[in-house]
Amino acid sequence: MTRKLFGTDGVRGRANTYPMTAEMALKLGAAAGEFFRTDGRNGHRVVIGKDTRRSGYMLETALTAGLASTGMNVLLLGPVPTPAVGFLTRSMRADLGIMISASHNPYDDNGIKFFGPDGFKLSDEAEAEIERIVAGPVPLAEAERIGSAKRIDDARGRYVEYVKTTFPGRGALGGLKVVVDCANGAAYKAAPEALWELGAEVIALGVAPNGFNINAGVGSTHPEACAARVLAEGADLGITLDGDADRVMLIDENGQIADGDQIMALFAARWAEEGRLAQNTLVATVMSNLGLERFLGGRGIRLERTPVGDRYVVEAMRRGGWNLGGEQSGHIVMTDYATTGDGLIAGLQFLGEMARTGRRASELVHSFDRVPQLLRNVRYGQGKEPLKAPEVQAVIAAQEARLSGSGRLLIRKSGTEPLVRVMAECTDEALLAEVVGTIVAEIEARV
């Protein structure tokens, strides 16, 4: 079955507009309950977390009603990072986990992500089956089988305590000044708490959510805010998360920004030296820079590329038995520690490397020189399919031929927004700009 509701990261859209309405959330909750509650009993449980968007209250309530109507018992976690939902789904022996978040998007978007009992995001097949159930009548539980709902007051504390166990050496952050930017999002309490309890001097940024300011000028999509604070405070490191804290960018003491590619390069090289990198392989998406691929190749480390989306990275890691992967955008997936990207754990691993080596962040954040890369987005209207136009396809083929041997071209539709993403890499920056500009102009003529 072709999925219409689900994109690359659950169901997502503008709040209070299809499909992000209370009505659809109720239907999704009931369908998920029907899918996971297989024996007609009330022993089944689901955990629900959310970020700090105002619309999260509405969707949380609707999901709870739908789930309870099919006999699922709901455990409400409140604002917690997406990786906390993955962890707590498994830790609390839940049958299902749900995170209400649109990640790095602005406040007026929201989304619903599902996790299986193993803490990993659901497969395409499972999401397609839930979508099939949504389309028809969902059997409701008998009155005596309606599920319950309750708040879990210590959800954040459980996650913080686990995160601290992933850091190599408690208290080793003493003497380090760390700026942590929580994007006014889901980690606004958890991240500063974990860092402070591990001994760091913490300067918190983006920790005053009001329901409307998530990702607004702060967080991993606006790392310049954290960089400025690092310089102003004379901090040793900046850790900047996105709205649901599954992404991270790092800032060294000079304000230099390290994206996911640089972080993965450091971790892969270190883990390979220690014999910890499973099958000497790193998993990354087609968006990761050619510089990363060349850096890894020079160290005998294999790069496995996947489609864009951390779910596809994780699926490849599970199939291949690999334990490190991620995205240039800052998802760092370490299956030794978490079932999805975890920005806080990635930041702690970097701090652990600083503590272990005694080196400054600036000596660790730059592992390779990037091949010049240019990405431009073109927004298109409803019902439009600009990439199917023969004229666009012809221009793409011609520009791809121009890059042959000196770079690469990647053009794709976003899985979460009505955007065409045009990305190219080339050592000749003038050619790079010309190639991307030519393709963008042709696409824009048909949107």
Question: DSSP character for 175?
Answer: T
CA nearest to 284, candidates 215, 341, 339, 346:
341
- Residue 85 class from Cβ within 10 Å (0-12 exposed, 13-18 middle, 19+ buried)? buried
| 16 & 70 share domain | yes
φ, ψ of residue 288 to 5 degrees: the values are -65, 145
| 62 & 16 share domain | yes
Q: How many domains does the chain have?
A: 4
Say how many C-beta atoms besides its own lie within 10 A of residue 286's C-beta: 14
In this prediction the pTM is: 0.91
| 169 & 103 share domain | no
Last residue of one domain, picked from the residues 236, 270, 289: 236
Q: Which residues neighbour 311 within 8 Å (Cβ) at sequence distance 6 or greater?
A: 8, 9, 121
Could you give the angle at the alpha carbon of 289 between the alpha carbons of 286 and 292, nearest 5°?
110
Could you give the angle at the alpha carbon of 309 between the alpha carbons of 342 and 378, nearest 5°?
125
| 143 & 162 share domain | no
Q: What pLDDT score does 341 carry? A: 97
One-letter amino acid at 422 equals: V
pLDDT digits 0-9 by tens, 236-267? 999 999 999 999 999 999 999 999 999 999 99
Q: What pLDDT score does 9 carry? A: 84
Q: What pLDDT score does 40 carry? A: 62
| 135 & 195 share domain | no
- CATH of residue 68's domain is 3.40.120.10
- Position 402 pLDDT exceeds 70: yes
Per-residue CA distances from 26 to 96, 134, 173 (Å) = 16, 10, 45
Which is catalytic among the residues 69, 101, 103, 367?
Answer: 103
Q: What pLDDT score does 7 carry? A: 84
Would 95 be classed as within a structural domain? Answer: yes
| 42 & 140 share domain | yes
| 111 & 127 share domain | yes
Would 216 be classed as within a structural domain? Answer: yes
Last residue of one domain, picked from the residues 312, 332, 363: 363
Would 232 be classed as within a structural domain? Answer: yes
Question: What average pLDDT is seen over the chain?
Answer: 95
Helix (H, G, I), strand (E, B) or coil at 6: coil
| 128 & 162 share domain | no
CA nearest to 265, candidates 222, 240, 296:
296
- Tokens read off for 348: 């702690």
| 293 & 389 share domain | no
Q: What is the mean pLDDT of residues 392-409?
A: 91
Would 99 be classed as within a structural domain? Answer: yes
- Model confidence at 308, pLDDT cuts 50, 70, 90, reads confident
Would 255 be classed as within a structural domain? Answer: no
Would 19 be classed as within a structural domain? Answer: yes
| Parent domain of 403 | 373-444
The fraction of the chain above a pLDDT of 90, given in percent, is 89
Would 108 be classed as within a structural domain? Answer: yes
CA 70 – CA 45 distance, rounded (Å): 11
Active site residue 103: yes
Last residue of one domain, picked from the residues 236, 268, 299: 236
| 29 & 138 share domain | yes
Burial readout 137-171 (b: 16 or more C-beta within 10 A, e: otherwise): ebeebeeeeebebeebeebbebbbebbbebbeeee
Would 386 be classed as within a structural domain? Answer: yes
Q: What pLDDT score does 171 carry? A: 64
- Position 35 pLDDT exceeds 60: yes
| 330 & 266 share domain | yes
For the chain, give percent helix, strand, coil, nearest 5: 40, 20, 40
| 231 & 340 share domain | no
CA nearest to 367, candidates 383, 352, 350, 379:
350
pLDDT digits 0-9 by tens, 174-230? 889 999 999 999 999 999 999 999 999 999 999 999 999 999 999 999 999 999 999
- Tokens read off for 351: 């701090």
